[in-house]
Structure 1
Amino acid sequence: MTNSVTKEISYEDLKALLGNSQNLLLVDVRTKEEVDKGRIPGSVHIPLDTVEAALAMGSEEFKAKYGVTKPPLDAPELVFHCQMGKRGGTATGKANKLGYLNARNYTGGYKEWSEKEGK
């Protein structure tokens, strides 16, 4: 019953979520150097190689480290992104394996976001 197909989200859908949702957790899995060059507003930086450990943390430890509430396993609006989509897909897969069945990947990544936002 495991679905190995990565769920994806478009720029338009992400933009709508950013404007309307209080529950969205947008996770930027790029390197610190990439994030320093620009980021999607409201995103939380959790590098790809630490995603599994971060999602395995207790709620209090997660909030202390990242400054946001740890998403519940059934979080409807958990979105990962990277620069162009590949690492975001990897992170989404890791989250799925940990039980975050609604996790999605913003496949356009920061590259598409910055182009569309004129950054």
Structure 2
Amino acid sequence: MFKTAKTLALGLAVTAASLAGTAHAQSADWIKQVTRTIAAKQTYPKAAQARGEQGTAKVKIYVAASGAVERAELIAPSGSTVLDREALALPSRTGSVPPPPGGATSVTVPITWKLL
């Protein structure tokens, strides 16, 4: 991750969570843990940064009962092909998140890149 706060800001927040295969709501604490785990791997692609590209991509992440990230799906593009590719690669690069409390599920997260 770039450490130059003057040139960029990275943000990842969960604004909506959806369930796949479970009948109960996800734990807010679990969603926060997933958010922190994924945010720790987020980077600003050099090509996008050099071109001044910014945006938010929404990615649906499918999580196994063990916490393994099974796959990711782009729900809403950022407007930048480079940022969209990074958004899809990020969950896989993370590898696993804390196991979901109710078994296999999915969560939709917006991943934001913003130059300052």
Check whether TM > 0.5. no
Greater helix percent: which structure? Answer: 1
